[in-house]
Chains A and B, each alone.
Chain A
Amino acid sequence: SQTIHQWPATLVQPVGSPLSLECTVEGTSNPNLYWYRQAAGRGLQLLFYSVGIGQISSEVPQNLSASRPQDRQFILSSKKLLLSDSGFYLCAWSVRYNEQFFGPGTRLTVL
């Protein structure tokens, strides 16, 4: 069966510090991978998606970046965090146009 992992589960970082969130998927090959951000009390904002290794599509210009070094690994990064980067970050995977499956999320607080 397929599973999706995210870590860390929670993170508190100072403004200006770097960020690295990791997402890994097990039990499937060549998935589409997605990063979303959910701000407090708001809907999901698609940040990045990837249809293959090294292929990243950015949806929102900002100080975040994403990388896919391996087929089932998706990393969200920042060189310098802003206060506005606080939120709940969700990773998801899908196969072709089928439904997405979400990870447990990482709650990021930037102070």
Chain B
Amino acid sequence: GEDVEQSLFLSVREGDSSVINCTYTDSSSTYLYWYKQEPGAGLQLLTYIFSNMDMKQDQRLTVLLNKKDKHLSLRIADTQTGDSAIYFCAETRPGTYKYIFGTGTRLKVLA
């Protein structure tokens, strides 16, 4: 199927690390993305990883890719209240301009 799966909710305490997980379906996916959506707004690209990489780090964000298990994760270090949002993973597949988005994970950061 075409479903990209994510858990719906995650709650963490301020200062802790957050790990948001995503399982995608197509092993031929080329790029995998993480987007952030704040309430009532569009999606903002956070980071992306090319399919031949295992890990990418960008300041507080760490993306891990396990191609064998088709598993993508986003780790946010030192989570802040401003990180509260919905996080979407997405994949692109060769030969198509379509982006397949996950269902989104709502992250709530408790002060």
Contact = CB atoms under 8 A, between A and B. Distances in A.
Main secondary structure of the interface of B (DSSP, over half): strand
B31 A99 contact: yes
Interface stretch (A12-20, A40-48, A60-68, A75-83): A40-48
B41 to A, nearest CB: 6
Contacts, number: 53
Contact of B42 (A42, A59, A97, A104): A104
Given A43-B102, A46-B98, A94-B97, A102 B40 contact: no
Interface string B82-110: 00000010101000011101111000000
Bin chain A's interface residue count.
20 to 34
Nearest to B90: A100
Interface of B: 30-31, 33, 35, 40-45, 48, 88, 90, 92, 97-99, 101-104
